[in-house]
Chain A
């Protein structure tokens, strides 16, 4: 009899612990599961799961860190920007258009050494002629026409492309210069697409 009661009590406790005492997984537990769920493939290695301080801060605050943190992250991002040593901001807008159209780069399906694209049209409208554009970012049509072609605008735009977090800590845009997605020369071409008065973006 006593034994039966004990068995029942143990069974009841087991049911209770299964139903009532759910505790969500900790960040460490979740990260352990995530880390064991991915593998290296081609150029995409598992170390990509190690978050930077900025990625972590943006993830944990729903892309809305406190003012202090935001300002610190933006300052640190701006410090990573390498401006063109020869002061030459603009390249060839035709090559810029090709870079803006191309989406390859840094995927496990991409080959190391093949130049990446900027894939600008995935998220932005640029030249009027290209109607297949995304809307995750703002329209950049008439970018230069609307903002002018001053050196200040060029300097700002260069920094925005190099490390977008310089002006918006948790921006969705990739760090094209800082992360080594585009070369300095490629960024010049994209700059020309945006800021050459003869570019189709400004026509």
Chain B
């Protein structure tokens, strides 16, 4: 089924991209001010919204979620994402959260790995080895499954809980990591994401201390990245930020990454999930 839908969608995408290039071209010719440049970028984003290949990834993810897999030959349908075994609707919008069975705060991707290991019997080291697809490769299982689960939270209000002491500690550590300047470039997350209306080149940077930009950013990850031709998850987003921050590599679903995502999610409280989104 995904194959049959792929062609018209990709054609739409190609057309919207061609349109977007024209819009950007026009903005090059007339851009006299930041305002007009920003309008050009906004038009490009609007054009992108008309065809999102992430739909295909989400559809495949649903099949994968329900497929009997792993040494224990079960599906992920009994996976408890915090709202009880099998409840997927709205679960992503309430994560990271504390899970009593592992006595840990987990983001969605950490919880997914937990379910693949404990329910399906996959080897943890194997599951976490290559969480992100490389250029031109097919999406990984983690990316595909994430696309499905986050789609099931579209329109749901972000409500990352702060009830359990471990949830509060995750937020507090995440906040410290957010402001930590380090590395050869002296950058912190906050260097780019703690001030209003900042841009790198033409890319605007959400200020996570402000509700509205925090909501806009958190609600639109995971996203389909047109420039990479792939769906990217929140863990990937964090990973790529740290790469550009000139930090060492954050370990996939490590406590530090979960803490940071908790901080960002709490800052985005009340925003409506609108993911997978599509971005440049």
Contacts and interface: CB of A to CB of B under 8 A. Distances in A.
Contacts of A180: 184
22 contacts: A22-B169, A29-B173, A30-B177, A37-B256, A38-B247, A38-B248, A40-B248, A41-B248, A44-B243, A44-B246, A44-B247, A48-B182, A48-B246, A50-B182, A51-B180, A59-B179, A106-B246, A108-B243, A121-B201, A134-B198, A134-B199, A135-B199
A106 B184 contact: yes
Given A62-B179, A131-B31, A36 B255 contact: yes
Contacts of A36: 254-256
B165 A18 contact: yes
Interface stretch (A144-152, A171-179, A187-195): A171-179
A131 B247 contact: no
Given A46-B248, A49-B248, A131-B37, A37 B254 contact: yes
B172 interface: yes
| Chain B CB within 10 Å, residue with most, of A25, A40, A172 | A172
A78 interface: no
A80 interface: no
A38 B249 contact: yes
Contact of A51 (B182, B201, B244): B182
A34 B164 CA distance: 21
Given A27-B176, A59-B181, A174-B185, A33 B259 contact: yes
B200 A30 contact: no
Given A37-B256, A59-B181, A109-B243, A48 B248 contact: yes
Given A25-B172, A54-B186, A174-B186, 20 more contacts: A22-B165, A24-B168, A25-B169, A33-B256, A34-B173, A38-B248, A39-B251, A41-B248, A45-B248, A48-B182, A48-B184, A51-B181, A59-B181, A106-B246, A108-B248, A133-B201, A135-B198, A174-B185, A181-B184, A181-B185
Contacts, number: 134
* 9 tightest Cβ-Cβ pairs between the two chains A and B: A37-B256, A37-B254, A41-B249, A48-B183, A38-B248, A174-B185, A55-B181, A179-B184, A134-B200
B28 interface: yes
Nearest to B185: A174
Instruction: Sort chain A's interface into a size bin.
Output: 35 or more
Interface residues of B, number: 46
A107 interface: yes
Contacts of B201: 121-122, 132-134
Contacts of B119: none
Interface in A24-79: 24-25, 27, 29-30, 33-34, 36-41, 44-46, 48-51, 54-55, 58-59, 62
A30 B176 contact: yes
SS class, residues of chain A in contact with chain B: loop
Contacts of A45: 248
B257 interface: yes
Contacts of B199: 134-136
Given A34-B256, A107-B246, A174 B184 contact: yes
B165 A179 contact: no
A54 B54 CA distance: 43
Contacts of B195: 136
A122 B200 CA distance: 5
Contacts of B251: 37-39
B173 A30 contact: yes
B157 interface: no
A24 B256 CA distance: 15
Nearest to A60: B179
